[in-house]
């Protein structure tokens, strides 16, 4: 079976991204993350917008991996689009959003996710997905922890009033897929494996 490497050590991010890809047109692939590798590849600090950062993540692994038997190496980076402006450093805004100081009730924001796919030949293709959500004021105290996703408590799909944190994994995945599947198809159409 063909293999895909997602350039992250974060197991939660890996689970979300690999499930999303596997339930789209990448169902014939096995997925791996950096924690699955036998070799150590040092992280590089990425710069620029989400597309550039996803590119740098994938390129760093592609250039520094000794034994590349993956059909694709994928770099992924996230941001948020607020009032038509993409914010790359979401962490800088999380507390203000959670504290109800930045967004108004039912305001539409987009979770922006950039993917860069490198094939074995070193050719690459980048896509950007934008998933719309409504803002809903937090009704309880929330402690922001490392490697957690606090925005899931204040963002609801546009066709629901239930925060993402209360949805099961399959429902959330299906919602993301609605806005991502065509972009994933672009990769297959534009990049040979």
Place of tokens 């014939």: 28
**CATH class held by domain 2-190:** alpha beta
Taking only the tens place, the pLDDT of each residue in 148-158 is 678 888 999 99
Domain spans of the chain, in order of start: 2-190
| Whole-number CA gyration radius for the chain | 17
**pTM confidence score:** 0.90
Beta strand segments in the chain, E = 2-6, 29-33, 72-82, 85-87, 108-119, 124-135, 155-157
Per-residue pLDDT reduced to its tens digit, 67-94: 888 999 999 999 999 999 998 888 888 8
Residue 54: name the closest of 114, 10, 5, 6 by CA.
114
**Distance between start and end Cα atoms, the chain:** 13
Using alpha carbons, select from 150, 72, 82 the residue that is nearest to residue 112: 82
């Amino acid at each position: 079976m063909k293999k895909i490497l997602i350039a992250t050590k974060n197991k939660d991010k890996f689970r979300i991204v690999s499930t999303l890809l596997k339930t789209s047109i990448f169902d014939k692939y096995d997925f791996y993350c950096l924690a699955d590798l036998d070799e150590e590849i040092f992280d590089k600090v990425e710069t620029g917008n989400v597309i550039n950062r996803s590119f740098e993540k994938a390129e760093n692994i592609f250039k520094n991996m000794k034994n590349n038997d993956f059909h694709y190496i994928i770099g992924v980076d996230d941001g948020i689009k607020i009032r038509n402006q993409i914010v790359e450093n979401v962490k800088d805004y999380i507390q203000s959003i959670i504290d109800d100081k930045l967004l108004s009730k039912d305001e539409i924001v987009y979770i922006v996710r950039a993917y860069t796919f490198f094939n074995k030949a070193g050719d690459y293709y980048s896509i950007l997905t934008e998933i719309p959500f409504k803002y809903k004021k937090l009704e309880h105290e929330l402690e922001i922890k490392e490697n957690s996703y606090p925005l899931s408590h204040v963002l609801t799909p546009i066709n629901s009033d239930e925060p993402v944190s209360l949805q099961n994994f399959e429902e959330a995945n299906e919602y993301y897929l609605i806005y991502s599947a065509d972009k994933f198809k672009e990769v297959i159409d534009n990049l040979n494996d």
